């Protein structure tokens, strides 16, 4: 019987939990996580994450895994250590905060020098090479993930591509592990670590650029009193353009696009560019325009319907609606919020209304980044740019 490969996955977010769970079908996986509550949930084959397919997978599949907060116990015998910890963008330093990733690398090298460290966390271009030099090893590589929130199991099972930032023997073994969990014959691209890091940032910046393009098309339509839906449908009918990532919003937001576009811009440093900066600026201009329309309206009480970036999400991080809220607050507009995922009475210094009917009655105008049938009875009050309104 084949001995199971010992793998440690650091971080119990969407990336780490879904990848670890899938690898645990044929391998011996340990989740290393500092949050004891998340560890306890995993030990009981549960997760705090809001993805039904992931919850079902953990509960129903026969998996070999454990969870721990103990570095030494988790790392000592692992052949692969997959780092899936957050790297938030630090506006002051104009760079990702890679401190947690660096700590994990340091501890892994101290405890287990033979393990291949695979960075899945999004990092600046050149970070992995810097870590290789610092720790005097090639046993640190970068392999980006391309997951959508709420679709982590599906996107790991049917990946668009596998990118490996190394071509050494251990990196090729790791690529085989990823291919084993894929349900299709996924192409693997081997390249330098810095090139793999660039693939991640350029991919997300292209998506942000596409979102921004259709948002600016919609802004043009607003000024000209044109029907955005007609124009976008006509443009997207061209197969070279395609009918995707084309539904207007209040701006792009979420875990990745805002921070990854800023990081790529920072990585250009002294390299001449115009487009990357324009993508970052376009998102702010869009929020300025939407906010201005609301500020100039006669509405006294502005209702914010949900803070999340998209339907079915509880992720508020960098959501575009929060940028709108900041602008409305600065203009002294009265604002109330309806967000079922909030368990507090105030948010950003604003009242949170728990009763949906009261929220609708109190609001003179309701801002909804994404349409909902629940707002059908007050649709005359609703302001949204979700023109395709797919529930």
Residues taking part in catalysis: 256
* Cβ neighbour number for residue 110 with a 10 Å cutoff: 12
Exposure string for 41-60, b = 16+ CB within 10 A, e = fewer:
bbeebebebbbeebbebbee
The C-alpha angle with vertex 33 and arms to 74 and 253, in degrees rounded to 5, equals 140
Angle at 350 between CA 344 and CA 351, to 5 degrees: 60
- DSSP symbol at 2: P
Per-residue burial over 143-165, b if 16 or more Cβ lie within 10 Å, else e, is: bbbbbebbbbbbbbbebeebbbb
DSSP secondary structure letter of residue 374: G
- Whole-number Å distance between alpha carbons of 52 and 56: 6
Strand order in the sheet with 350-352: 346-347, 350-352, 334-338, 301-305, 365-367, 382-383
Residue 33, C-beta contacts closer than 8 angstroms, at least 6 positions apart: 10, 11, 12, 39, 42, 67, 68, 69
Bridging pattern class, strands 89-90 and 95-96:
antiparallel
Pull the structure tokens for residue 48: 């705090």
- Cα separation of 135 and 256, whole Å? 28
């Amino acid at each position: 019987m084949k001995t199971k490969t010992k793998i440690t996955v650091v971080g119990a977010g969407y990336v780490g939990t879904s990848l670890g769970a899938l690898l645990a079908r044929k391998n011996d996986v340990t989740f290393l996580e500092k949050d004891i509550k998340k560890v306890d949930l995993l030990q009981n084959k549960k997760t705090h994450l809001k993805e039904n397919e992931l919850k079902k997978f953990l509960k129903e599949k026969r998996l070999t895994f454990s969870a721990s907060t103990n570095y030494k116990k988790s790392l000592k015998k692992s052949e692969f250590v997959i780092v899936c910890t957050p790297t938030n963008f630090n506006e002051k330093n104009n760079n990702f905060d890679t401190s947690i990733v660096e700590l994990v690398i340091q501890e892994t090298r101290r405890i287990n020098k033979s393990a291949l460290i695979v960075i899945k966390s999004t990092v600046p271009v050149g970070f992995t090479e810097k870590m290789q030099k610092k720790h005097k090893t090639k046993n640190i590589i970068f392999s980006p993930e391309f997951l959508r929130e709420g679709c982590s199991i599906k996107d790991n099972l049917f990946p668009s591509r596998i990118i490996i930032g190394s071509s050494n023997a251990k990196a090729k073994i790791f690529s085989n592990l990823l291919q084993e969990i894929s349900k299709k014959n996924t192409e693997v691209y081997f390249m330098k670590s810095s090139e793999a890091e660039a693939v991640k940032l350029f991919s997300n910046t292209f998506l942000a650029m596409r979102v921004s393009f259709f948002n600016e098309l919609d802004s043009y339509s607003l000024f000209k009193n044109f029907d955005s839906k007609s124009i976008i449908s006509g443009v997207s009918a061209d197969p070279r353009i395609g009918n995707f990532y084309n539904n207007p919003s209040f701006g792009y937001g979420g875990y990745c696009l805002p921070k990854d576009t800023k990081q790529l811009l920072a990585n250009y440093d002294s390299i001449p560019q115009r487009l990357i900066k324009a993508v970052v600026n376009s998102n702010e201009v869009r929020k300025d325009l939407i906010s201005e329309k609301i500020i100039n309206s006669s509405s006294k009480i502005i209702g914010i319907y949900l803070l999340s970036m998209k339907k079915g999400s509880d992720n508020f991080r960098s959501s575009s609606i929060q940028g709108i809220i900041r602008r409305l607050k600065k203009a002294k507009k009265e604002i109330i919020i309806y967000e079922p995922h909030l368990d507090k009475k105030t948010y950003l210094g604003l009242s949170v209304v728990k009763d949906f009917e009261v929220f609708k009655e109190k609001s003179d105008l309701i801002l909804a980044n994404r349409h909902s049938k629940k707002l059908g009875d007050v649709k005359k009050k609703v302001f949204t740019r979700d023109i395709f309104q797919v529930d």
